[in-house]
Structure 1
Amino acid sequence: MIEARGISKQRGGRTLWEDLTFSVAAGEVVALTGPSGCGKSTLLDCVGHIDRVDSGTIRIGGVDAGRSARRARLLRRDHIGYLFQDFGLVHDATVGANVDLARPTGRGRRRGLSTGPALEQVGLGGRSTARAHELSGGEQQRVALARLLVKQPSVILADEPTSALDADNAALVLDQLESFAAAGAAVLIATHAPSVTQRTARVITLRDPRDHRGGT
């Protein structure tokens, strides 16, 4: 589902990674690790077609957006879901409104749960009218999970999704990401946490740009 071939990226005159090749299959959960500053978040942005690689190709479901902003936008809309360390919510909006933002539109799009059942599944039933800023960090990440349940993306990119959470909420996030993979999604998680990497099928480690290889 995710295919990266010979990709390279520079930022501020510094090479983050070069000639990097890896893939994440449908139904697989893969961890992305490496020291701070090695470009894990930038790599997720490139896979998610928020940013562009300097060279090489990234295909999502066999589609290479190339330099087309329109194709990149369609890939983000139709296939890619995100789970961020800072939750990525609209803080002054209600929980229900935040979840509704992820709802697919248009004929033929994949459709997941409606807002109420999605919130029930993550343990936030009855909280749809609360404002996002009124929730704890763990609850806010549950709202972000509910958005994925509504969108049902085929690719999920998670950037340190458990780093600000207690053990119970971290376990819930990982359980749900595994459930998405079991339903056929390709899941790529950038993380420093051994508790996360221990639950993934493989680990891709970003190293010095002269020695980039994926490890297992």
Structure 2
Amino acid sequence: MMLEVDRAAKRRGGRLLWRDLSFSVARGEVLALTGPSGSGKSTLLDCIGLIDSLDSGAVRIDGTTAGRSHARARRLRRDHLGYLFQDFGLVPDMTVDANIDIGRPDRGRRGLRTRTAEALERVGLAGRGSDRAHDLSGGEQQRVALARLLVKQPDVILADEPTSALDDDNARMVLDTLADFASAGAAVLVATHDPSVVAWAASVLRLEPTGPR
């Protein structure tokens, strides 16, 4: 399995979000993570993405766990993980090209401009590389975030409500591109409240608030 969560538990503000939570996402699979507000969907994505830590249990990416090693967590984020955030995750004052280059596993410049230009063309933003992110619409910013994933080609994609702020056309582009990543062998995990996104995903995991235990 590309992504495995094994007996995970997490508290937030003294409240137990979930415990003994286990699931996996294989290469080529899209799993929708759903549940009411307060069930810990975004927190779970942060733990899987090694931005936050579990209270107990383990996350394995391609069979490897970061454990307590910050260096190993950085390597796993750099080499395997890609993110698609509800707020797009761009640096507003940086150019489109510079935002796409953030987090690339290889920093070599050879061929980078070509790959960035190709990714922008694919998401309908050809020639916009020198624009500042803050000058783009919300839909255009999410397209830049998609282009960043296209350049990096991560093994695991974590998407947190990626369509919630978008119109129908941009939402469809996001889902089509995520499906393309899965077809190419990525494991895709999408946290969502949107019933249409849940229906689109191949598999669904529903979180329920656990309570104060």
> Is TM-score (shorter-chain normalized) higher than 0.5?
yes
Matches of 1:49 and 1:64 in 2, distance apart? 10
Deviation at 1:106, TM superposition (A): 6.1
Who is 2:14 aligned against?
13
Equivalent residue pairs, number: 206
Matches of 1:106 and 1:7 in 2, distance apart? 34
1:24-82 superposed Cα distances (whole Å, 9 cap, x missing partner): 00100000001111110000000011111001111000001111111111100110000
- Secondary structure in 2 aligned to 1:198? helix
Question: Are 1:31 and 1:203, in contact at CA under 8 Å, matched by a contact in 2?
Answer: yes
Who is 1:71 aligned against?
72
Matches of 1:13 and 1:208 in 2, distance apart? 13
Who is 2:144 aligned against?
143
Answering whether residue 35 of structure 2 is matched by residue 34 of structure 1, we say yes
Deviation at 1:114, TM superposition (A): 1.1
Question: TM-score with structure 2 length normalisation?
Answer: 0.94
Where in structure 1 do 4 or more consecutive aligned residues deviate above 6 Å? none
Deviation at 1:145, TM superposition (A): 0.2
Who is 1:188 aligned against?
189
Matches of 1:204 and 1:163 in 2, distance apart? 19
Give the aligned CA root-mean-square deviation in angstroms. 1.4
Change (3 A) 1:102 1:66: closer
Q: How high is the sequence identity, in percent, across the aligned residues?
A: 67
Deviation at 1:96, TM superposition (A): 1.1
5+ long unaligned stretches in structure 1: 211-216
1:82-123 superposed Cα distances (whole Å, 9 cap, x missing partner): 00000000101111111122432169xxx9x71100000000
Answering whether residue 193 of structure 2 is matched by residue 175 of structure 1, we say no
- Secondary structure in 1 aligned to 2:170? helix
Question: Are 1:102 and 1:150, in contact at CA under 8 Å, matched by a contact in 2?
Answer: no
Who is 2:4 aligned against?
3
Who is 1:214 aligned against?
none
Matches of 2:99 and 2:93 in 1, distance apart? 10
Please tell me the residue identity of whatever aligns with 1:117: E
Matches of 1:115 and 1:102 in 2, distance apart? 13
Answering whether residue 139 of structure 2 is matched by residue 153 of structure 1, we say no
Question: Are 2:9 and 2:21, in contact at CA under 8 Å, matched by a contact in 1?
Answer: yes
Question: TM-score with structure 1 length normalisation?
Answer: 0.92
- Secondary structure in 1 aligned to 2:10? strand
Who is 2:199 aligned against?
198
1:145-178 superposed Cα distances (whole Å, 9 cap, x missing partner): 0000110000000000000000000000000000
Question: Are 2:3 and 2:24, in contact at CA under 8 Å, matched by a contact in 1?
Answer: yes
Who is 2:44 aligned against?
43
Answering whether residue 131 of structure 2 is matched by residue 130 of structure 1, we say yes
- Secondary structure in 2 aligned to 1:62? coil
Question: Are 1:29 and 1:187, in contact at CA under 8 Å, matched by a contact in 2?
Answer: yes
Matches of 1:29 and 1:45 in 2, distance apart? 18
Matches of 2:67 and 2:124 in 1, distance apart? 40
Change (3 A) 1:102 1:124: farther
